[in-house]
Structure 1
Amino acid sequence: MIFEEKTIETERIYEGKILNLRRDKVTVEHGTSYREIIEHNGGAVIAAVTEDKKMVMVRQYRKPAERAMLEVPAGKIDPGEDPKQTAARELKEETGYEAEKIEFVTSFYPTVGYSNEQLYLFVAEGLVPGETCFDENEAIDIEEIDIDILFDMVMTGRIHDAKTIISILMIRDMISSGKLRSCRRL
């Protein structure tokens, strides 16, 4: 039987621009314990797919990992913003593309052990190129890569970002099963 933890008290440790940190005292099966929890508004993840089965990817330096990472476009949800609006905004900002169609695929918690961050995955089709409008602190390279090559990169450990791995696996399955009709069968 799974024991549901109840919060007894909460201590605010840090409040920042992107995240907050709290420490909860909780009930556990044989007494009490503490949980350190990162609070985050969540984010939208955009799998932008071209007609010829390529995904629009971004490569950028990530300080926490101390390396450049190949990722799907994504961004944090602003307070009061709908995740689908975030997806469209981030796609335009990071890649310059606008999409004729953006559809919700799934949501997931990337680090459920210590954060309430929830990510919402969308697929974008009918891509129309345009100009990027990076945030002032962003330096991003844009690449279009075939989904089968991306799948191979996932399976051989060459993609390290969890949201990107999930996106590639989901989109490849959607293409294979015919759920993404805009992709030409090659």
Structure 2
Amino acid sequence: MERSVGEERIFSGRILGLERHTVILQDGSLALREVVRHPGAVAIVAFVSEQLLLVRQFRFPVQKYMLEIPAGKLDAGERPEDCARRELLEETGYVPRFLHKLITIETSPGFSDEIIHIYVGEVEKSQEPCPDEGEFVEPVLVDSKEVVKMIIGGQITDSKTVSGILLAFAGRESDKYD
């Protein structure tokens, strides 16, 4: 186990913070650790009959458009399920007929404390999408039989999307959500 003996706040932004810690390692030596602090997020594997509802969005850090499951950052004090419902409606215009929590994942524990609560649900169209200002997402329906091929073929590479979809399919195969 490592123990922090010194902390320096490097950056505090709208979405994340960055800290540098001096830690004592198991052998008693000192090392530096940089930690990204994140408030957490949710993501939803949304089924519309035999199709999956994804969003197409440009991701600046990797400089490309990506297909992802709908997702978003938790607001302070917000329950993950409430956030899942809100983000799904904002990004896609769909609402869940039911939601089931699949898993909570730690996205990059080597440098970040971000967790994502992943849900699965059957959804139906309610209204037009109403994304946040400066958020440009396009809802996309994809045949569920094609999604695994898209993952294997490298067309879907986002980690929350890959893990959420594969886990949702495993649950559907075992009739876990019926």
TM-score, length basis structure 1? 0.91
What is the CA-CA distance between 1:124 and the residue it aligns to?
2.0
The equivalent residue for 2:37 is 39
What is the CA-CA distance between 1:176 and the residue it aligns to?
1.6
Q: What residue identity is the alignment partner of 1:137?
A: G
The answer to whether the 8 Å contact 1:75/1:90 transfers is yes
Q: 4+ residue stretches of structure 1 with deviation over 2 A?
A: 126-129
Distance 1:162 1:64 in 2: 15
Distance 2:140 2:128 in 1: 15
What is the CA-CA distance between 1:100 and the residue it aligns to?
2.1
Which of these residues, 164, 169, 173, is aligned with residue 166 of structure 2? 169
The equivalent residue for 1:184 is none
Q: Deviations along 1:36-60, whole A, 9 cap, x unmatched?
A: 0000001000111122x21100001
Deviates more, 1:13-22 or 1:120-129: 120-129
| Secondary structure class of the residue paired with 2:48 | coil
Q: CA RMSD in A?
A: 1.2
Q: Deviations along 1:48-97, whole A, 9 cap, x unmatched?
A: 1122x211000011111101000000000011111111100000000000
Asked if 1:90 is matched to 2:87, the reply is yes
% same residue:
35
Asked if 1:117 is matched to 2:114, the reply is yes
Pairwise mapping of residues 55-70 of structure 1 onto structure 2 (< 5 A)? Answer: 55-70=52-67
The answer to whether the 8 Å contact 1:12/1:23 transfers is yes
Asked if 1:21 is matched to 2:18, the reply is yes
Structure 2 gaps, min length 5: none
Asked if 1:160 is matched to 2:157, the reply is yes
Structure 1 gaps, min length 5: 182-186
Q: Deviations along 1:131-156, whole A, 9 cap, x unmatched?
A: 21111111221111122211111122
| Secondary structure class of the residue paired with 2:72 | strand
The answer to whether the 8 Å contact 1:148/1:172 transfers is no
Number of residue equivalences: 177
